[in-house]
Structure 1
Amino acid sequence: MIGADGSITWGEERVSSNQLNKYMHMTTGWEPLPLIILDVADDAPCLAVQRVRGIMDSAPICRGEWPSCSEGQDWKSFDDRSFAE
């Protein structure tokens, strides 16, 4: 979750960009693969959203033949699409 103040939450824990990056790369080897869903507050700062999308785009779990990442309520909303624009 990216909050209106630009804060990042992983589950129930508030995390830094560096921690998010670490978590995103750590999940790659998990079985079964988790589904990573980016939820963004309507008034979240654009720079914070772009930064998190960049982290997600660089994470192996969000790339490749079977990416396991999405944004919003529709878990299929980013099929065949890169997070970085």
Structure 2
Amino acid sequence: MAMNRSELVAAVAAKTENSQVAVNGVLDAVFEVFVDQISQGEKVSIPGWLAVERTDRAARTGRNPQTGEAIQIPAGHSVKLTAGSKLKAAVSKK
């Protein structure tokens, strides 16, 4: 079962004894900072928990799955999320 955003906000609000509105505002701000930094090519790292960075993808040749025709896929960017040691340790305990 996956936790959605509203459930995450409610859980953090309960743990921190803050309002859901306040927690939602902080979560929005965190994601805005992630977007700003990663779009500029900067890595965002929370030691022990996670690291998020932009990666480059080279141009390449692909195939149209319906026709089998070769197509050119342009160079672009992607996002890489790496789990930190604390997150990995928490997962391995369960």
Normalising by structure 2, we get a TM-score of 0.28
Instruction: Name which structure has the greater RCO, CA cutoff 8 Å, separation 6+.
Output: 1
* Structure with more strand by fraction: 2
The structure that has the greater radius of gyration is 2
* Structure with more helix by fraction: 2
Normalising by structure 1, we get a TM-score of 0.29
